[in-house]
Every structure is written in structure tokens, then in C-alpha cells.
Amino acid sequence: MKTLLKNGISFYPPTYEVKPIHILIEDDEIINVSEHPMEELLTDMIVYDLKGNLIVPGFLDCHTHLAQSFGRGIYDNLHLTQWLVAMSMHFDQLTEEEAYKATYLGCIEALKSGTTTVAEMATAGPHLDACIQAIADSGLRADVCTAIGDFQEGENPAPELSTSQTLDVMRNLYKKWHGTYGGRITVRVSPVGLPACTEELMRGSRDLANELGVGIHTHCSEGETETQNAYERFNCSEVEALERFGILGPDCQLVHDIWLTEHDKQLIAEYDCSVVTCPSTNTKITDGMPPMPDLYKLGVNIAIGCDGEASSGSYDMLQEARLVSLLGKVRTMEADMFPAEKVFEMLTVNGRKSIGFNTKVGEIKAGFKADLTVIEYPTPHMIDERRLLSNLIFSATGTDVLSVFVDGKPVLWQRELLHIDEEKIVADILAVMRKADHLLIK
């Protein structure tokens, strides 16, 4: 089946000039992109008229905990260490129904904000399958994992599984879900982070990732206390320990990366790791100011994540993108740090490199998956093509998104979710949330 998206406008790298665009899709893949109309050349196709609106590659949210949508507004005004304890004491008590609906709610917000791919580190206790099923049902593309650990971190509850059992959870996740839903769901290995992992688990995670041919996703140097604990346990920094245990490499996503030494930054660059910055979380739970400009100057690939709503408050990637740029400017006092073009790349092509997809996403060109986001244009805050990219990064939000395509199929059209009764779903979820008193801090 062929689909034509006609009469849009888009950015054309490397200059990001705004020009007309018409996109021809066959099944799930873009087969032709042109500035000129092509509908007269073809018959028997579905046509969507974009009516002059802006179309861009779908955004890649490279670190999420989607079930934490149920935690938004509950765990406010807590520093990271306090927040972690509150989450482990309360949020891990989600029922299976709550885990599914909480994840689904996060998916709805992500899609309506223009995200087409998530890198999901599921943290809903024993109900991992429910979380992944919700993602699959929503229509999102996802690289999924679960936060595995075998060491008691601070005041958090002690882990119930041994190291080998923990690795088996990850192996079984891969066997059940990797490549399902036409390849829309993939799996990677995810030791949750060094503060909650032994050396044995870290080395085992690398061995398992190599065996399965997938990458590694882990938190890194997020909090000052947690980073100091690494020095006490391993007599080195977190990044140095990850190097020692074989974790670092081009297939490795390091999330947060705040309390880094100069040597840490050099190691991340030397091993060609990708970093994922989550600025709303880093500021809201006072993790610290991420040194993304330093890593950027070293040539490190930087992607963006919304993290979980219990810490960030939102799954709006445009909001995160703006904050990445603003924090970079303030940290360096360099007004030209992280211009709109570079931040747009973090939302798209850098995200693809970070996840390491064999699947081609993040660009609008022939041979790539038709994962696309349509943004309303013109509007009072998005006006004049000559300044449109700046407007997108510094003025737009997820509420400007009109339509979203994943695998060439419209998931959202004219702000309406096509395969979801949103009003009913939200009402059902609200009823569940109102009964979830076990999530509250007493």
C-alpha cells in the first residue's frame, strides 16, 4: 500500500532551509521525497494533505520510565536521594492493571507531543510485560529494557534476586519481546546503574549484550552522593568502573552524566559512548547541572530523554530540547552553545545513533522508516520560514503537534488519536489513579 503526504514544508539539512515537501511511502518505508508534487504520477494510494504544515522526523525520547506517569505530582520537592527512597517504597507497589494503564497514559502523552520512538527502562516491579504490552498497543516504536540490580543502594529495599537470576530476567525479556510487532519493539540490556549493581552483574551485562547482539542502557553519575559511593566501593569514579567492567563502547547509552571528572569525559569520548541528558529531571530533583557542553566539545553523541514523569513532570520532547540549549548556554556563558540546529539533531539523528537502531529512523529520506511528526504552522509563535527552526526549538511545545505517523500509519491525525478512545481511556485511568492511595507518601 502506498501513502502520499502532500503539501507540507520541512527543513532540508545541512542548511535547514525550509522548502515544500511531498513524501511517498510504501508500507512502512519512505520511498521518495520531493519538493515537487507527485500525486499525478500515481494511482491507488492513500493521500494525506498536510496543508502547508511543518513535517519533521518523529522525535526519539532516549530515556523514559513511562509508568511513572502515575507518579507525576506526588514526589515533588524531593532531592534525588530522598526521591529514590520514596519511589522504591511506594511506586514499586503498582498492580498489574496500574502498571499497564500508567504506561499507556505515558504513551498517549508522548505520541501527542510528537515522539515516535522511546528508549524505555521499565521500572514497574514484577509487571514488566504489562508495561511493554501497553507500549506495543499504543503504536509507539520502542527499544525496551528493565532496570536490573543486585546490590542494595542506600536506604532502598534489598534486591530479591541473585545476580544470575537478574540476568535471566533480561535474557527472558529479549526472548519474549525482541523483534515483535514487526520489529517495532526491540530489547537491550540495562543494569540500572552502578550504585545498585555489583561488578559481577556489570560484567555479566556486557557478556549478555555481546551474546544477544544488543546494546547497553544504564544510569551514570546522576547524583553526588551516589557518585561518591562508587569511589568508596571501587576506589574510582563510576565511569572508570564502567570501563574496568567492560561496559563502555559505541553500543552504550549513559544516562544523566552529571558528576563527571575530566578523565570521565575523556573516557566517554574515547569509547564513543552516547550520552542521554534529561534536563527537567536533573533540575527538578536537583541532580546537578549536566556538563553537556564539555562532552559536546569532545565530539560525544548527545541525545535527549524525558526520563519519568515522577521526576520530570512531562513527556514533551520540545520542552526538554529547549532546556538542553538554555542550560548549555548558562553553564558556559556562551550564547552560541547548542544552537537550534544542533538541538534538533539531538531530537532526531543523534537519538537514532544513541539507540543504535538497525532500523533507519530520525531522517526524512528514501529508505528510512516513515516515522513522522506534523507540527501546526503558521501560528502566533511559529511564523516566518526564515526563523522557523529557532521557533520550533525555543517557542514550540508538544501542544503544537497535529499528527504523528509510525511505520507509515497515522497514529495521531489532526490531534485525534485514531486507534484509541482517548476520552474513555483517560476516564478509566483517572478512576484507577484515584484509588491508588498506596502510591502516596503518608
Q: Considering only residues 333 and 230, tell me which one the structure prediction assigns the higher pLDDT.
A: 333
Task: Out of 355, 384, 399, pick the residue that ends a domain.
Answer: 355
Confidence of residue 74 (pLDDT cuts 50, 70, 90): confident
SS3 letters across 190-248: CECEHHHCCHHHHHHHHHHHHHHCCCEEEEECCCHHHHHHHHHHHCCCHHHHHHHCCCC
Higher pLDDT, 420 or 256: 256
- Residue 42 domain flag: yes
For residue 336, pLDDT beyond 90:
yes
Domain C-terminal end among 337, 355, 373: 355
Task: Please provide the average confidence, as pLDDT, over all residues in the chain.
Answer: 93
Residue 28 clears pLDDT 80, i.e. is over it: yes
* pLDDT tens per residue, range 214-266: 999 999 999 998 889 889 999 999 999 999 999 999 999 999 999 999 999 99
- Segment 310-332 mean pLDDT: 96
CATH of the domain at 155: 3.20.20.140
The whole-number average pLDDT for the span 125-139 is 93
Residues 173 and 322 in one domain: yes
Residue type, 158: A
231 in the same domain as 130: yes
Read off the pLDDT of each residue in 36-54 and give the average, rounded to a whole number: 87
The residue range of the domain holding 96 is: 59-355
DSSP-assigned states of every residue in 56-69 = EEPEEEEEE-GGGG
Going by the DSSP 8-state scheme, the letter that residue 43 receives in this structure is -
Long-range contacts for 358-365 (Cβ within 8 Å, ≥24 apart)? 359/141, 359/183, 359/186, 361/57, 361/58, 361/60, 361/116, 361/117, 361/141, 362/57, 362/58, 362/60, 363/57, 364/10, 364/21, 364/23, 364/30, 364/33, 364/55, 364/56, 364/57, 365/30, 365/33
Checking if the pLDDT of 130 tops 90, the result is yes
How many structural domains is the chain composed of?
2
| 147-156, 267-276, 362-371: segment of lowest average pLDDT | 147-156
pLDDT at 226: 81
Domain identity same for 308 and 346: yes
Compute CA distances 317 → 185, 209, 245, 361, whole Å. 20, 28, 33, 16
What pLDDT score does 85 carry? 74
Residues 106 and 45 in one domain: no
Query: pLDDT value at position 155?
Result: 65
**Looking at the structure, do residues 193 and 271 belong to the same domain, yes or no?**
yes
pLDDT beyond 90 at 38: no
Q: Does 44 fall in a domain?
A: yes
Q: Same domain for 229 and 370?
A: no
User: How many C-beta atoms surround the C-beta of residue 154 within 10 A?
Assistant: 14
Asked whether the predicted pLDDT for residue 158 surpasses 80, the reply is: no
* pLDDT of amino acid 290: 94
* Of residues 221, 263, 216, the one with CA closest to residue 238: 221
Among residues 355, 381, 405, which one ends one of the domains?
A: 355
Query: Are 34 and 149 in the same domain?
Result: no
With a pLDDT cut of 90, the percent of the chain lying above it is 77
Asked, for residue 435, whether it belongs to a domain, the answer is no
In sequence order, the 6+-apart residues with CB closer than 8 A to the CB of 210 are none
| Same domain as 305, residue 190 | yes
Distance (Å, whole) CA 330 – CA 308: 25
Q: Which of 73-87, 128-142, 372-386 has the lowest mean pLDDT?
A: 73-87
**Cα–Cα dist 28/38, whole Å:** 19
Q: Do residues 204 and 329 share a domain? A: yes
Residue 441 has pLDDT above 90, yes or no: no
Say whether pLDDT at 300 is over 70.
Answer: yes
Q: Is residue 429 part of a domain?
A: no
For residue 423, tell me if it sits in a domain: no
Do residues 350 and 114 lie in contact, with contact meaning Cβ atoms separated by under 8 Å? Answer: no
- Asked whether residue 227 is domain-assigned, the answer is yes
Tell me, yes or no, whether 186 and 74 share the same domain: yes
Residue 430 lies in a domain: no
Q: CATH number, domain at 17?
A: 2.30.40.10
Lowest mean pLDDT among 60-64, 100-104, 121-125, 138-142: 121-125
| Residue 18 shares a structural domain with residue 166 | no
What distances in angstroms separate CA 397 from CA 226, 314, 325, 371, one per listed residue?
33, 11, 15, 19
Contact 282, 276 (CB under 8 A): no
Determine if residue 112 is left, alpha or beta; phi over 0 gives left, psi from -120 to 50 gives alpha, anything else beta.
alpha
pLDDT for the residue numbered 40: 64
* 3-state secondary structure (DSSP) of residue 112: helix
424 occurs within a structural domain: no
User: pLDDT per residue over 75-113, tens digit each?
Assistant: 888 888 887 777 776 666 788 988 999 999 999 999 999
Domain co-membership, 310 together with 168: yes
